[in-house]
């Protein structure tokens, strides 16, 4: 008599491994800040070489004269006297060409340099030129992020996906520790 067929064992469900969370590109806290040189508002040049030996905040924003970027820039401008007392230089960076940056700086009387990174080289070095999506469409754009760099040229603090309203206060607190 033929052997009775045994029912097949149910297939074991294998739990999918959680996707590894990718570390953001760009310098981590404690790393040497990437070098940069960009044209900036007021006919200036913003460069890491000129800031050597001094602490600075390099903040990246998506577009001049938009609501979030305006809140952030005005908050930084308001905090500038206190940040200056702490010896901190501030540079805002966007992918905009110089003409809209100059207009933005003049409109809101922003005295700190706003730099133009039209080719995204500095944003890429800092890992803030990222894929974004809006209304189901993906595109490359600037992530609102900031890097506090110490006088030794090392990144002391990194803020990713910054909230414009609270940013100046966060920077002030971190700068006191330098």
What residues are labeled active site? 69
Q: 4: exposed, middle or buried (C-beta count within 10 Å: 0-12, 13-18, 19+)?
A: exposed
Find the largest Cα–Cα distance for the chain: 97
The C-alpha torsion from 31 through 32 and 38 to 40, rounded to 10°, is 80
């Amino acid at each position: 008599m033929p052997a009775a067929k045994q029912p097949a064992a149910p297939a074991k469900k294998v739990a999918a491994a959680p996707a590894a969370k990718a570390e953001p590109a760009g310098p981590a806290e404690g790393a040497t800040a990437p070098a940069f040189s960009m044209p900036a508002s007021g006919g200036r040049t913003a460069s890491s070489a000129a800031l050597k030996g001094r602490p600075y905040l390099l903040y990246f924003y998506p577009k001049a004269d938009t609501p979030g970027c305006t809140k952030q820039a005005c908050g930084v401008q308001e905090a500038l006297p206190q940040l200056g007392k702490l010896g901190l230089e501030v540079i805002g960076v966007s992918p905009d060409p110089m003409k809209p940056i100059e207009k933005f700086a003049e409109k809101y009387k922003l005295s700190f340099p706003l730099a133009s990174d039209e080719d995204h080289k500095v944003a890429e070095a800092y890992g803030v030129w990222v894929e974004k999506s809006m209304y189901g469409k993906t595109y490359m754009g600037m992530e609102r992020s900031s890097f506090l760099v110490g006088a030794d040229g090392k990144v002391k603090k990194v803020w990713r996906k910054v909230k414009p309203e609270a940013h100046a206060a966060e920077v002030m607190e971190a700068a006191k520790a330098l």
